[in-house]
Copies of this chain bind each other. A is one copy, B any other.
Amino acid sequence: MLTKQQLEQYCVEATQTYLNHISIDCVVFGFHEGQMKVLMLKANMEEAWYLPGGFVLKQEPIDNAADRILKERTGIDEIFLQQFHVFGHPDRSKIHNEMYKGMLPDELNFFNKRFISIGYYALVDFFNVNPAPDDFSEICTWRDLNDLPEFELDHELIFKTALDTLRLQLNYQPIGYNLMPKEFTMPELQKLYETILDKKLDRRNFQRRMLGFGILNKLETTRKGGAHKAPYLYSFDLENYQAALKQGLKSGW
């Protein structure tokens, strides 16, 4: 929670250091215990949830800005990030945090401007993330895709657009390297796909199709401990994976 003085100083500095009218919002997807997760923040003192975001330094490439913002929230350095849409309706711009409304005259309040927000989505390994709140929030945590709180502002639209984009990209790009641990089983990978797509897939066909892409290495070991047959472990063949990212999985026309 910022005092009025702190907020005032923040606004003065922000106006000087950041590009005005431009913000970045990130949809950070993680995967844990068979569930898809999104990183979210809860505002100070109120039940208001929003997506991690921030601003662009005056001489900073926008991709770097997204990297920087997410490093602050997750501690991770090299994140798989993809710009997916720009949200630019004038009505979307409200104060990030209603609590600070009225504490400053409008002309001094950096947040009380129209912001055009560039949406990025990120895929990260759940276990590498150390969620850290920002100056305006008290909680930064994973939320389950099946149990999301209400979003502030237009963040629900941003989230849904990100998810739609992710689903579409599943059709022509490999996915998982950034979401799975180094070693994983085929059922675990399938669970990821099923969660993203929100539908059941055939176990056997999934396996053949995945292997057909040629982006997986089958390891010697198996995962013991379950109450059933021990599945083989796989890892991604990074070279082929990168190549598939570039060329796409299907040629189409």
Contacts and interface: CB of A to CB of B under 8 A. Distances in A.
B116 A88 contact: no
Contact of A90 (B60, B88, B172, B252): B60
Interface in A171-225: 171-172, 193, 197, 199, 201
A20 B56 CA distance: 14
Contacts of A61: 88-90
Given A22-B21, A170-B253, A171-B252, A88 B59 contact: no
Given A168-B248, A170-B253, A171-B253, 8 more contacts: A58-B90, A60-B90, A61-B89, A83-B85, A86-B118, A168-B172, A171-B250, A197-B253
Interface of A: 19-22, 56, 58-63, 83, 85-86, 88-90, 114, 116, 118, 168, 170-172, 193, 197, 199, 201, 248, 250, 252-253
